[in-house]
Amino acid sequence: MELPALSITDVRAKLRAKEVSPAEVLRDLDTRIAQVDPHIHGYLSRDLDAALKYAESADVSLPLGGVPIAIKDVINVSGEPCTAASKILHGYRANYDATVIRKLRAAGAIPFGRCNLDEFAMGSSTENSAFGHTRNPWDTTRIPGGSSGGSAAVVAADEAFAALGSDTGGSIRQPAALCGIVGLKPTYGRVSRFGLIAFASSLDQIGPFTKTVRDSALMLNAIAGRDPQDSTSLDEPVPDHTALLGRDLRGVRLGMPREYFIDGIDPQVDAAVRAAVRHYESLGAEIVEVSLPNTEHAVGVYYIIATAEASANLARFDGVRYGHRATDATGLLDHYGRTREEGFGPEVKRRIILGTYVLSSGYYDAFYLRAQKVRTLIRRDFSAAFEKVDALICPTSPEVAFKAGDRSDDPLKMYLADIFTIATNLAGIPGISIPCGFADTGGKKLPIGLQLLGKPFQESQLLQIAHAYEQSTDWHKARPALA
Amino acid sequence: MSAQFDVRYTAQLARLHLSEEEIAKFQTQISQILAYVEKLEQVDVSGVEPTAHANAIFNVFREDAPRDWFTAEDALANAPRSANQLFIVPKVIE
């Protein structure tokens, strides 16, 4: 098997045994990217020379020693651009590492390559990038999901061993599902966001894209933990997330939320997820039907809270400290207005306007405060369900990857693509998407994702449950046929 | 409520210029989104506390002490316009 096709676990074994050097791994990966990425456009940039130089001091005895990791272009890496796939960050170069990057480096990893995304992580298809859209490796006429579509696509296409993404309403899990890989959104507060360009601060969380569940646990081990520079990161003990992998599922109770098995889901997705549920039963898990009655309100609550927070977070792009600045402005307001008009793309503008409106005088109580109250009801739904079960099992996305261009001018329809992932962020709980089958669509095989949702800070058990399914099925071994 | 949505006024609040084409398009699209989210009005939230954050943590303090961080050069490295170790800002007072 070619090196870039390996998992972290497997390439790490070769690095430790000194069968290959970090430089050889990087060169092979770079060659693979040069071959494949013209068809995928998962990367916005990469700097092989800088990575090779950094690799000279890589300590292969460390947990991720010598392993290159791709980074969503919304996380700051010292010395590199960080565009958020937006023209407004034109010319910006980070002069500090995000905490997750500092931690990856401490674990021996080599940050390599910047992944495409929907501008400022706003979108579900990676079509909102100012620098061209990313294509799904399983069918390049289709979208890879979003907003971390570049991170998902490069891992699926063996252009990366693993990647970091961010998940505000499903932006890790949905593209992982649509690209047929593993995507983990940790508990809110599990991973520091210091150095992540903020979208919606009460929802954002950084997490890994990997080829296997074990790799996901290794990545979480490296990036988790309290950080004094992110006051929302919690001082919870960080266990070894690989410790429970391989344990059987006797006594584990999985809940099927009835609101996640509804009309309107792609029948092939529904069938694959129901088959996965039966598979879990055969592995010894007990299946219980549960209800999350406020699920139908999640998308509405999300698009109030997320846009409100975004409108405040994106106020910092004012053309003064970094990024694009309009020339020849006639005054202060014209300077702001034109800098932002020229720098932001259509979806970002739409969300800034919506978020500004729901926070504006006279509408705050009716929209924002009410949404926060319904958010409480959504959280309570999950708390009640977790009194009966250890984890929830459901589809990640109601559909497989759709055709590029199909929804780019219908924002509401695009927002509904996140119907099964959004409530997780509102509740702050961890979630993972793993491959559970393929849909046959027009002669093409398109991946289907199984979503497992866990109790706060119980990622270890979530990974154990995911791993048991993965290791007793073959879905994760399938790879798209690319050049 | 969405009937009162005025994209032009909201764009002013957001310090964001829009083209006439964008104004027309956003007026329609955002009105549709607002009509969708208005179904939250039907939810009974009497006596329900708002959730601002997924974790109930408040007032995280640290010592108010200097530490190593950006130098002035670092902070200015990305400025579109700077001089004499300062950001150049547009004229604020006429």
State the Cα–Cα distance between residues A148 and A126, nearest whole angstrom. 7
The reported pLDDT for the residue numbered A442 is: 84
Direct distance between the N- and C-terminal alpha carbons of chain B, in angstroms, rounded to an integer = 38
Q: A386 lies in a domain?
A: no
Q: Is the pLDDT of residue A28 over 90?
A: yes
Residue appearing with tokens 């996901």: A216
Tell me which of A213-217, A251-255, A329-333 is least confident.
A329-333
| Active-site pick, A7, A125, A129, A147 | A147
Distances (CA, A) of B91 to A329, A335, A336, B78, B94: 10, 10, 12, 20, 7
Q: A148 lies in a domain?
A: yes
The reported pLDDT for the residue numbered B31 is: 94
B residues 25-84 near A, CB within 8 Å? Answer: 26, 29-30, 32-34, 36-37, 39-41, 43, 45, 48-55, 57, 60, 62, 70, 74-75, 77-81
The reported pLDDT for the residue numbered A32 is: 97
The reported pLDDT for the residue numbered A332 is: 94
The 3-state DSSP class for residue A383 equals helix
Q: A287 lies in a domain?
A: no
Q: Does A242 touch chain B (CB under 8 A)?
A: no
Contacts of A353 in chain B (CB under 8 A): 7, 10-11, 14, 16, 26, 30
Structural domain for A59, as ranges: 3-250
User: pLDDT tens-digit profile of B17-34?
Assistant: 999 999 999 999 999 999
Q: A216 lies in a domain?
A: yes
Q: Does A331 touch chain B (CB under 8 A)?
A: yes
Q: Is the pLDDT of residue A436 over 60?
A: yes
| Nearest partner of A294 among A388, A380, A235, A180, judged by Cα | A380
Percent of chain A residues topping a pLDDT of 90 = 95
Residue appearing with tokens 């008009």: A341
Angle A85-A89-A93 from CA coordinates, rounded to 5°:
105
Mean pLDDT of chain B: 91
A residues 196-215 near B, CB within 8 Å? Answer: 202-203
Tell me which of A210-219, A341-350, A415-424, A471-480 is least confident.
A415-424
A residues 147-176 near B, CB within 8 Å? Answer: none
Could you tell me the pLDDT band of residue A109, with boundaries at 50, 70 and 90?
very high
Mean pLDDT of chain A: 96
The reported pLDDT for the residue numbered B2 is: 52
The mean pLDDT of A391-411, rounded to a whole number, is 92
Direct distance between the N- and C-terminal alpha carbons of chain A, in angstroms, rounded to an integer = 15
The reported pLDDT for the residue numbered A266 is: 94
Nearest residue of chain B to residue A340 (CA atoms):
B16
Count CB-CB contacts under 10 A for residue A106.
12
The mean pLDDT of B48-52, rounded to a whole number, is 93
A residues 280-319 near B, CB within 8 Å? Answer: 294, 297, 299-301, 303-304, 311, 315, 318-319
**Least CB-CB distance to B79: which of A321, A335, A411?**
A321
Q: State which amino acid sits at residue A58.
A: A
State the Cα–Cα distance between residues A154 and A163, nearest whole angstrom. 8
Residues 6+ apart with CB under 8 A from A412: B29, B32, B33, B36
What are the backbone dihedrals phi and psi of residue A232, each rounded to the nearest 5 degrees, phi first?
-90, -5
| Active-site pick, A7, A72, A216, A311 | A72
Question: How many domains does the structure of chain A reveal?
Answer: 1
This model of the complex carries an ipTM of 0.95
Sheet holding A391-395, edge to edge: A43-45, A110-115, A68-72, A162-167, A205-210, A182-185, A431-441, A444-454, A391-395, A253-257, A286-290
The pair of structure tokens assigned to B62 is 């640290």
Q: Which uninterrupted H or E stretch holds A334?
A: helix A332-343
Contacts of B90 in chain A (CB under 8 A): 329, 331-332, 335
Q: A407 lies in a domain?
A: no
Q: A292 lies in a domain?
A: no
The pair of structure tokens assigned to A149 is 């579509």
State the Cα–Cα distance between residues A295 and A100, nearest whole angstrom. 32
- Catalogue the E-assigned strands of chain B: 82-83, 86-87
Radius of gyration from C-alpha coordinates of chain A: 21
Q: A385 lies in a domain?
A: no
| Active-site pick, A7, A129, A166, A171 | A171
The pair of structure tokens assigned to A26 is 């990087």
The reported pLDDT for the residue numbered A411 is: 84
The CATH number of whichever domain residue A129 belongs to comes to 3.90.1300.10
State whether A357 and B18 contact (CB < 8 Å). Answer: no
Could you tell me the pLDDT band of residue A103, with boundaries at 50, 70 and 90?
very high
For the question of residue A171 being annotated catalytic, the response is yes
Nearest 10 degrees: Cα torsion A268, A272, A278, A281: -150
Count CB-CB contacts under 10 A for residue B49.
9
State whether A320 and B89 contact (CB < 8 Å). Answer: yes
The reported pLDDT for the residue numbered A409 is: 76
Residue appearing with tokens 């620098």: A131
Could you tell me the pLDDT band of residue A61, with boundaries at 50, 70 and 90?
very high
Chain B nearest-CA distance from A114, in A, is 19
Nearest residue of chain A to residue B8 (CA atoms):
A353
State whether A354 and B80 contact (CB < 8 Å). Answer: no
Q: A316 lies in a domain?
A: no
The reported pLDDT for the residue numbered B3 is: 56
Tell me which of A109-118, A275-284, B44-53 is least confident.
B44-53
The mean pLDDT of A451-460, rounded to a whole number, is 98
The reported pLDDT for the residue numbered A104 is: 98
The reported pLDDT for the residue numbered A311 is: 98
**Least CB-CB distance to B16: which of A320, A337, A411?**
A337
